[in-house]
Structure 1
Amino acid sequence: MSGATAAAPPASRRREYLAALALTALGAVALLAASAQVWVSARVDLAGDLAPVAVELSAADLVPAVSALGWAALAALAALVATGGAARRLVGLLVALLGVGVLGAVATGLRSSALADAALRAVTAEGTLGALTVAWTWPVVATVGAVLLCAAGVLTLVRGTAWPAMSSRYDRHSAPRATRTGTPAELWRSLDSGADPTDENAEPKER
């Protein structure tokens, strides 16, 4: 696998890298967007002559992990850019696990028993659940975001070591220039003559 990775053309590696970044970003945005919406509307019938109470439950009420994992995915996006090699593969594994975590949280939070319990907890008086409606658009958006994170994580885990790394690019440009070789006495004479001993092309100035 490593030989195939190394043999991939630079343009193909760059496309894979950008695809992983885009999938991670889209997955994180989908989770954060879905977490702010109402997922469930319910009616709770109260005991006695009290009027029924309308209840709206957001992702924060049902699956608070969606928002937290969305922010974690954004942090992982920055880590994908900043790392390289084996460290980037570890980030890819983390991104995939974030997606799996969201899928598990959504599946658990949308169980009928969990929805009923959440609706009844939202009212202060005792009552029974009269009706419940799930706005499936936002759970689906969160699920799609989780799938995107899984895809980005797997892609990074398999191919990430061949992608360009920001750290190596900056290290290359920020590396100090080679100093002129010579004895300490020769370097001192260069300084005394007004030449820059770190500039290989500099000539001593006539005094």
Structure 2
Amino acid sequence: MTAATPRPRRGGFTAALAATAAGAAALAAASGRTWATGVVEVAGPTAPAPVELAGTDLAPAASAMGIAGLAALAALVAARGWPRRIIGLLMTLFGAIALQAVWSGTRPAELARVAAEQATTDGRVAAPDLAAAWPALAAAGAALLVLSGLATAVRGPSWPGMGSRYDRHSVPRTARTGDPAELWKSLDSGEDPTLDPAAPDTAAPPADARCPSTAPRTTTTTTVPETGDNPRQKEP
């Protein structure tokens, strides 16, 4: 009795894909939102001018790392084996860079500096008020990228390939019928239903096997040796 070959775990692969997609999407979505608001106080009767600071203003690297995370997600699906370790390390790096960008971009000094640059009028810029929800979402997305990247770097080579089921050469070609359900099954297995199925072996069989009645007949003649003791030659 032989030991069963361990099957690759698809659950870890699916979890890594989901975490990567969620992390990259959170970074991309949160970076386009308003992270802080402030006002520019101008001398005289002019009303204060509002200033809104988006995530792309305070942490531009976080938005870039979100897009890079989506590209890493596509590479993770397409790759197999040891290249996934490299992809996992890159994903970890993307998440770490995004975390650092979110942290440094939400410091009070950085908020005041960016608000002064974004002000369209001359005056004193009051300390911007930080809306913590969007920076927190960006930080959570960056953390997901770090975790999924570490998991991919450690366990990625043992995960199965998502594209293996769509390999045409690995799927036996079967005869097709006009049933639409069979066409959908062919598409799902990676087979092109527009191609003709493989023709069966039409080589003509030997003449003896094709038509037994026309095969040449052979007769066997048994020769009985003549002896003097032949009972038919003896008289009663």
TM bracket, shorter-chain basis: 0.7 to 0.9
Would you say the 8 A contact 2:62–2:99 is kept in 1? no
Aligned-residue sequence identity (percent) comes to 46
Does residue 134 in structure 1 map to residue 130 in structure 2? Answer: yes
Would you say the 8 A contact 2:111–2:127 is kept in 1? no
Please point out which of 7, 10, 21 is paired with 2:7: 10
Specify the alignment match of 2:187 in structure 1. Answer: none
Specify the alignment match of 1:193 in structure 2. Answer: none
Specify the alignment match of 1:204 in structure 2. Answer: 203
Specify the alignment match of 2:42 in structure 1. Answer: 46
The whole-number CA distance in structure 2 between the counterparts of 1:131 and 1:146 is: 27
How far does residue 69 in structure 1 lie from its aligned partner after superposition?
Answer: 1.3
Specify the alignment match of 1:79 in structure 2. Answer: 75
How far does residue 99 in structure 1 lie from its aligned partner after superposition?
Answer: 0.5
How far does residue 86 in structure 1 lie from its aligned partner after superposition?
Answer: 1.2
In the TM superposition, what are the counterparts of 1:1-207 in structure 2 within 5 Å?
A: 9-10=6-7, 13-171=9-167, 173-174=168-169, 202-205=201-204
Specify the alignment match of 2:233 in structure 1. Answer: none
SS of 2:14's partner is: helix
Would you say the 8 A contact 2:112–2:127 is kept in 1? no
Look up the equivalent residue of 2:153 and give its one-letter code. L
After superposition, the C-alpha distances for 1:82-137 in whole angstroms (9 at most, x for unaligned) are 00111111111111111001001111111211110111111233322224210000
The whole-number CA distance in structure 1 between the counterparts of 2:53 and 2:133 is: 14
Identify if the C-alpha distance between structure 1 residues 167 and 61 changes in structure 2 by more than 3 Å, giving closer, same or farther: same
After superposition, the C-alpha distances for 1:128-152 in whole angstroms (9 at most, x for unaligned) are 2224210000000000000101010
How far does residue 46 in structure 1 lie from its aligned partner after superposition?
Answer: 2.3
Instruction: Give unpaired runs (5+ residues) of structure 2.
Output: 173-197, 208-236
The whole-number CA distance in structure 2 between the counterparts of 1:20 and 1:63 is: 25
When normalised by structure 2's length, the TM-score is 0.68
Identify if the C-alpha distance between structure 1 residues 80 and 28 changes in structure 2 by more than 3 Å, giving closer, same or farther: same
After superposition, the C-alpha distances for 1:13-40 in whole angstroms (9 at most, x for unaligned) are 2110001001001101111110121000
Would you say the 8 A contact 1:102–1:146 is kept in 2? yes
Q: Which has the larger radius of gyration?
A: 2
The whole-number CA distance in structure 1 between the counterparts of 2:121 and 2:163 is: 58
The whole-number CA distance in structure 2 between the counterparts of 1:72 and 1:54 is: 33
Q: Which has the higher contact order (CA 8 A, sep 6+)?
A: 1
The whole-number CA distance in structure 2 between the counterparts of 1:9 and 1:48 is: 77
Bigger proportion of residues as helix? 1
When normalised by structure 1's length, the TM-score is 0.77
